[in-house]
Amino acid sequence: MISLWLGLRWRGFPQARLAWALLGLRLVINTGHAGPVGTAWMDWRLQSRDPATGKVRITTERVDPRRVGVIAVDVWNHHWCKTATMRVDAFVPRINHALEGARAMGMTVMLCPSDVVENYAGFRQREAVLAMPLPAVPKVVDASCPPVPDAGGCACGRERCAVNYGWDGMHPGLRIGEDDLMPDTQAEVYAICKERGLTHLVYVGFHTQVCLLGKPMGLRAMKTAGLHCVLARDMTDAHPGYDPARGFTPDLNTAQVVEHFEKHLAPTLHLAEELARAGHWDRKRLLDPVRITPWGTPSRPHLFEQPVTVTLATPLQPGADIRYTLDGTAPSPSSPLYRGPFTVSETVHLRAAAFHGRRPAGLESEGYFARLAPLPPMPDVFIGDLAPVRNVGFGHTYGGVVRYSGDTRAPQKDRSNHGRPIRIDRRAHERGMGVHAPCALAYEAKPEFRRFVALAGVDEHVATVSNGSNLARHPSVVFKVFIDGKEAAASPVMRVLSPAWRFDVPIPAGSRVVTLVAMDAGDGSREDFADWAQAGFVVAR
């Protein structure tokens, strides 16, 4: 190469062509092989740790981006932990921006939603993988890793979420590229690497100590097969835990898991910084919201009895000020400054944003916390023992007669709408009414009726079949009580396996009609089977 460059120089090559020759010489010297002319090589800064002391080690490696695959694992549209769900949501803008830069640099992007990958049957990104011949996968490295401490998997503190497998696809905001691929197994990823000559894999996604360690396309599996595997520490999130009393947060949990990987399994890099140095990351773009723990939202509230400790964080915007409000108004640089975890004891609508001075430093976040009322007394008269004056449900109505839709039925006395035991709040209830939203049941307000009482929630049968696989994310119901056409009480959005909403509604003297309404929550009525449990009227004594 040196003699060739000298020859070209003495033959009077133009300056631009001379620069290309110099670039070729630099590639040979630094990498040991000549890449194609114009290759935009990357100099990765890799971070690992001494397994015994934890001391950070920084090394550099020159990498051809066309030999790199970026694997996004389990960027799902739902998780049984509502805080985990929202933390995925918070990362999606950042991951999108990173994958955009990776594609532009010639990296191969692989989207891996693992156990729901076959819901993408017919997508070219999945079918292309299935058409590949699968080579035998070698075992090159013993990628053993000591167990990672289990943080519990729920970041909602004392009011813990119940397990269900409701995800049915990737996050709707995650952009799927035309040339992306959707592998699911170790053999499928290995086949892609063989076909495209990939030598390095960068992992982004969730939930680090579970999916990247245990899934067949995960980091440990592909390291075993001889790939150089790296974790993007700025685009991963652990299976979370939360114990504010001892300062344990999901972000601390993630940092501990990342350190464990750096000690025992694989180096990490800061993917945004690597892309920025290569000119494929816009540092001015606002991507990251304030992280809220626990993270209830108006569409999936955090219901609580005891006061809740709330933590706000911006780990990717160090030095930013967090401003927040608790009345649903937009935060501004003059809103209260977050100084540390605070306690919520009443229903609040939280909004938060990060600022550098008066300049926004990230995206706004929204949280919703709803306090449960005390348990109501048992009714003296159950609604199942009364004849409604109006009874309409999910279907088509002609002249007051309802043609019910699909497998829904008229409201069922003391049973779910499917005819099973009423089950909400993770327990069975003997009395009540099983409906499908939208549904309205109206009853005469007799003079002796003083209060309407009930426990209301989404029927939990959907979660008893395969742990709610693919379906548990859908039910969302709002319950309302009207007295003579005026709204007297309402629940927030109720979800499967959440605590029951507690109604204890005074009935003014002279009232004529009490109407019980179950509504869809604005996202359609799929699986909106709902129960009014222990529902009825308390009479005058």
Q: Which of 277, 303, 324 is the last residue of a domain?
A: 277
More confident residue, 482 or 1: 482
pLDDT at 31 over 50: no
Cα-Cα end-to-end distance for the chain: 102
Structural domain of 313: 291-371
CATH number of the domain bearing residue 492: 2.60.120.1060
pLDDT at position 38 is 46
Query: Do the beta carbons of residue 228 and residue 68 sit within 8 Å?
Result: no
Q: What pLDDT score does 425 carry?
A: 85
| Averaged pLDDT, 191-214 | 96
Percent helix, percent strand, percent coil in the chain, to nearest 5: 25, 30, 45
Tokens of 425: 């709040």
Shared domain check, 326 and 180 = no
CA distances from 201 to 52, 62, 99, 204, 486 (A): 26, 14, 13, 10, 60
Cα within 13 Å of Cα(426), Cβ side: 8
Closest CA to 167 of 210, 119, 237, 239: 119
Beta strands in 28-151, from DSSP E residues, in sequence order: 42-49, 56-63, 68-73, 108-112
Of 536, 510, 441, 540, which is closest to residue 482 (Cα–Cα)?
441
pLDDT for residue 117:
98
473 vs 540: CA distance, rounded Å: 41
Binned at pLDDT 50, 70 and 90, residue 39 comes out as low
Burial (Cβ within 10 Å: 0-12, 13-18, ≥19) of residue 351: buried
Q: Which two tokens stand for residue 9?
A: 């120089």
Among 249, 220, 272, 222, residue whose Cα is nearest residue 94: 272
Closest alpha carbon to 517 in 526, 530, 536: 530
Q: What does the mean pLDDT of the chain come to?
A: 92
pLDDT confidence tier of residue 9, bands split at 50, 70 and 90: very low
pLDDT for 477 equals 98
At residue 160, the pLDDT reads 86
Residue 285 lies in a domain: no
Co-location of 458 and 509 in the same domain: yes
- The answer on 205 and 126 residing in a single domain is yes
Q: In the chain, how many domains are there?
A: 4
| Strands ordered across the beta sheet of 342-344 | 291-293, 308-313, 342-344
Residues 301 and 273 in one domain: no
What is the tens place of the pLDDT at every residue in 282-307?
999 999 999 999 999 999 999 999 99
Instruction: Tell me the pLDDT tens digit for each residue of 139-161.
Output: 999 998 898 877 888 999 988 89
Residue 532 has pLDDT above 50, yes or no: yes
pLDDT on residue 541: 67
> pTM score, two decimals?
0.91
The answer on 404 and 352 residing in a single domain is no
Percentage of the residues of the chain whose pLDDT score is greater than 90: 88
pLDDT band at 3 (very low <50, low <70, confident <90, very high): very low
